Structures are given as structure tokens and as C-alpha cells.
Amino acid sequence: MTQPLTPNSSTLPAMQQAVLAWFRQHARDLPWRTTRDPYHILVAEMMLQQTQVERVVPKYHAFLEALPTLSHLAEAATADVIRLWAGLGYNRRAVNLQRIARLIVSSSGGEFPRSVAALQQLPGIGAYTAGAIACFAFEQDVAFLDTNIRRVIRRAWVAPEDMPPPTPDRVLQQLGAELVPAGQGWHWNQAIMELGALLCTARAPTCWQCPLQPHCRSYAQWRTRDEQLFAAPDGMAYPRADQPPRRRAAERPETPFVGSNRYYRGRVVSLLRALPPDTHLPITQLGVQLKPTFAADTEQAWLERLLHGLHRDGLIVVADGAVRLPR
Ligand code: SF4
């Protein structure tokens, strides 16, 4: 049984204040930071799950302009929601988002659940998204983990002598809950996420700019390993990183995305999005539109499996030998 870790109570207040002060000065101006509307927060969090901030910002504005309230989303044609999702990828999120909206509208007249436990009952909402909505919409002092928060907590508060890596999420979650300053959960979680996104990055943490540096456990460790150090702009030596440097794009192998199942799922949805509303596409025409070399005798079973998966996920409707977006 892993023992819980506790933050050092003599340094915690200074670390909290340093992070909050840094955030006040350096926070990016992101549209979901100026609202407490749970619907807007939900849309942002669903979009941010697998898409970068820069790509999300314009899509977030366009989505909320078209569907400004939870009721608008619940009542929209699913095809329109899928069309609005174009450019974000992982289209299943659009269908899940609408399922959530329809459930909240039908079960509680559009009143959002407020507790983390109740939010986690919604389809497609995990511990992170539930915590983010509870915190960013309802300003609750809750802790939750995403990639950035996990990395910052682990580096700043967990030394290898405390617990050999990797630190289990359960331990980080318990530790994270002790870090949240009372009454400042919104600012704290935003700040830690921002610090992980801008300074304490996976491969090149810029410790010389970091407000946590005076008390950071990893920084203290790295300082003792000379080979990890390099000269920073302020003339001091800092850790290079605790992970190998990222290879330049030209050196990286091609990601095998084109030709993958996900690629063809996206292609089917894109083809249907481009059709006028309520238009069907015969399956006999779909194969060659997906692959110019499509051979029905050997690839028909693959195509049917692909369409079955999309149908099961609510992204398309397969009926009478044709496919269309759901109404
Ligand atoms: S001092 Fe460096 S390793 Fe520590 S939290 Fe800051 S950026 Fe991350």
C-alpha cells in the first residue's frame, strides 16, 4: 500500500503565493477563463481534451455562436453538431457533448450537476473533466489531474527519495488536494495548468523563469547532476530536462496516421459533412471515394466494419445501403 505524500507545510504557502502571483502576471487571455457558465466550460473542456489551445479558440467561439446555450445544443440536429466540430478531430467528442446536453436538459431541466461525483455520472465525463467543471464553473476548491498538472506536481513536490517514479495518480491526486489554497481553487488550478503549459514543459522546463524554483524538488535534484546543467540566460546553470531532448521534426519517423482506422473514420465523416443536409451517400460509391484503389471483393468487409464502428458511436447512420449524418 503506497503511503500518501504530504507537502512541506513550511514552504507550501510561499509556493502557493508565488504560483498565484506568476499567473496574475503571465496568464494567457483565453476565452474560457472569462466565463463561469458551465455549458461554456464543458464545451471548452471537451474541445481541449485532444486538441491544442490555438486550434480550439476559434472553434470555441464559432460553436458557441451557433449553439449559445445547453438547450440549443440539446435541440440541434446531430449532423449540425458534427459539422460544427469540423477541424477539431476526434468527432466522437461532438456526439458525446450533445448526449450530455440532452441528458442534463431531460433529467434536470438544464440544471448542471455541481459535484464532481455527479458530474462523473454524465456520459464521457471522467475525473479530470468533472473536476475542471466543478472548479472552473462552480469555483470549488477541488484537485484534478491533467498532463500539465500531473507533471508540475510530480516535479515540484515529489522527490525520488520520497517515492521512486512513476508516482501513481492516486498519490498525486491526494497530494494535489492538499496544495489547493482555500477559496482560490479556480486560480490555483488555472495557474498550475498554465505553468505546466508554458514553463514546466515535458522536455524543456525553463526553471530559471519558474516561480516554484526555490522550493522545487526536481530542480534541487537536477542541480546536483552536473551533466544535466546548462547555462541559462541569467548566467546560472539549470537542468536541461528530465527527459531526452525532443528530436527535430525532420528526424522523427512519420506518424502512421494516413491509412489508419482513425484516418478513414475521419474521411467518412468529412465526406458526409460536405454533402447538403439530409443527403445519403450510397455505400457502393463510398469505397472509391475513400480509396481510389478500393477493391470491393477484398475490402468490402473492412469498409463495413469501419461503417459499423461509426454507426455504433453515433457519428453516422447506415440504412438501406447508404450512409448519412445523424439527424
Ligand atoms: S523549477 Fe523547473 S522542474 Fe520545478 S516546477 Fe519549475 S519548471 Fe518545473
Q: How far apart are the first and last CA of the chain?
A: 50
Residue 69 has pLDDT above 90, yes or no: yes
More confident residue, 103 or 165: 103
Q: Which of 20-34, 80-94, 105-119, 284-298 has the lowest mean pLDDT?
A: 284-298
Q: Whose CA is nearest to atom 2 of ligand 1?
A: 207
Cell of 284: 457502393
155 Cβ below 6 A of ligand 1 = yes
C-alpha 292/C-alpha 319 separation (Å) is: 24
Instruction: For residue 60, give the CATH number of its domain.
Output: 1.10.340.30
pLDDT tens digits along 243-256: 433 444 444 555 56
34 CA distance to ligand 1 centroid (A)? Answer: 27
User: Would residue 247 count as lying in a domain?
Assistant: no
C-alpha 265/C-alpha 280 separation (Å) is: 17
User: Would residue 41 count as lying in a domain?
Assistant: yes
19 Cβ below 6 A of ligand 1 = no
Tell me which residue of 110, 109, 82 sits closest to 270, measured CA to CA. Answer: 82
Q: What is the pLDDT of residue 4?
A: 77
Q: What is the pLDDT of residue 167?
A: 86
User: Would residue 256 count as lying in a domain?
Assistant: no
C-alpha 185/C-alpha 143 separation (Å) is: 8
User: Would residue 2 count as lying in a domain?
Assistant: no
155 CA distance to ligand 1 centroid (A)? Answer: 6
Provide mean pLDDT across the span 46-58.
95
**Rounded to the nearest 5 degrees, what angle is found at the Cα of 120, between the Cα atoms of 16 and 175?**
30
Same domain? For 155 and 20 the reply is: yes
Residue 237 has pLDDT above 80, yes or no: no
Q: What percentage of residues in the chain have a pLDDT greater than 90?
A: 75
Same domain? For 167 and 127 the reply is: no
Same domain? For 67 and 206 the reply is: no
Same domain? For 46 and 123 the reply is: yes
Quote the domain boundaries for residue 316: 261-324
Other Cβ atoms within 10 Å of 270 Cβ, number: 11
Query: How many distinct structural domains can be found in the chain?
Result: 3
Q: What is the pLDDT of residue 222?
A: 75
pLDDT tens digits along 199-212: 999 888 898 899 99
C-alpha 41/C-alpha 33 separation (Å) is: 9
Question: Is 45 a residue of the active site?
Answer: yes
10 CA distance to ligand 1 centroid (A)? Answer: 19
For a mutational test of ligand 1's pocket, the pick from 200, 229, 240, i.e. the residue with the most ligand atoms closer than 8 A to its C-beta, is 200
User: Would residue 59 count as lying in a domain?
Assistant: yes
Residue that is last in its domain, among 136, 159, 193:
136
Q: What is the pLDDT of residue 285?
A: 92
User: Would residue 1 count as lying in a domain?
Assistant: no
Same domain? For 158 and 235 the reply is: yes
156 Cβ below 6 A of ligand 1 = yes
Confidence of residue 2 (pLDDT cuts 50, 70, 90): low
Residue that is last in its domain, among 204, 239, 274:
239
Same domain? For 22 and 61 the reply is: no
Provide mean pLDDT across the span 51-71.
97
pLDDT tens digits along 110-139: 999 999 999 999 988 999 999 999 999 999
Q: What is the pLDDT of residue 234?
A: 46
